[in-house]
Amino acid sequence: MVSISRLRDPRYYQVAVLSTLLGIGVLALDFGIHWQNAVAIMLTAQAVQYLGTRLAGLPRFDPLSALITSLSLTLLLRTELPLLAVAAATIAIGSKFLVRVRGKHVFNPANVALVTLMLLSDRAWVSSGQWGSATIGAFGLACLGFLVLTRAKRAETTIAFLIGYAAMLFGRALWLGDPLSIPVHQLQNGALLIFAFFMISDPKTTPDAARGRVAYAMLVAAVAFTIQFIFYQPNGPILALILCAPLVPVIDALLQGTHYRWEKPDAHSSAHLKGV
């Protein structure tokens, strides 16, 4: 049985929202997600997580984060080859155990797997346009609901990224004299929302201090914009995150903050949350 205190772990909500999105994607939008890939990703991720837990000598096996990574990968990664799906899950979870600085892993697991596969293989890609703009309303609502349910713990990363990116898109449109329907259309992108709410928001791979997180999110937004609209390459945000990730330990060294723990998301500020 799941106790009330464990429900405070925002990852349960993440799993619920991501599963719903996956359901919509497969049933209503016909994304071309292969169930073989989904199964391969899920199983591999848990296996690598288990192996890593044992080798690193961690006290207990925690399947939740690996499940979230699996869901994000299933939603974003496209490939015809199940072997690449297995490789993606291995890289994602493996990087958590292998690439660590000051007790934190450096790269967001799903992010590092996506970028590695896109760079190394021409048979893996991210279909950022496949959500369409019709479902975006419902999509945005689900994401916002997630923020409300988790009481916006560390939501400043998501909010700062979205504000920064939107400001640059609108700024570009105004500078070019374009109608504002263009930046609005650019923001109505499912992959962008998944990125903002479920990838860059990862408290484990963002700076510990709130100011650091806001600065970091703005930087990722600026790099993403540069890749997408100055170098005209797709998947700007995903590439930007991997480029900026090595700066997190630097920001952490400059700005003091609290290490995030999933089980106690409000450990440093529990006073005002009693009675929830």
**What are the beta bridge partners of residue 124?**
79
Residue 179 makes contact with another protein by CB under 8 A? yes
Residue 182 makes contact with another protein by CB under 8 A? yes
- For the record, the structure tokens of 73 come out as 């990968």
Residue 35 CB, nearest approach to another protein (Å):
16
User: Total residues contacting another protein (rule CB under 8 A)?
Assistant: 34
Residue 232 makes contact with another protein by CB under 8 A? yes
User: Which residue from 234, 243, 249, 266 is in contact with another protein, where contact means CB under 8 A?
Assistant: 234
Residue 244 CB, nearest approach to another protein (Å):
21
Residue 24 makes contact with another protein by CB under 8 A? no
What is the C-alpha radius of gyration for the chain, rounded to an integer number of angstroms? 18
Cβ–Cβ under 8 Å, residues 126 and 235: yes
* CB-based burial, 24-61: b 16+ in 10 Å, e otherwise: bbbeebebebbeebbebbbebbbebbeebbeeeeeeee
| CA neighbours closer than 13 Å in the CB half-sphere of residue 63 | 6
Residue 263 makes contact with another protein by CB under 8 A? no
Query: Residue 23 or residue 32: which is nearer to another protein going by CB?
Result: 32
Residue 226 makes contact with another protein by CB under 8 A? no
Amino acid letter at 9? D
Binding site for another protein (CB under 8 A): 29-30, 32, 78-80, 121-125, 127-134, 175-179, 181-182, 184-186, 189, 231-234
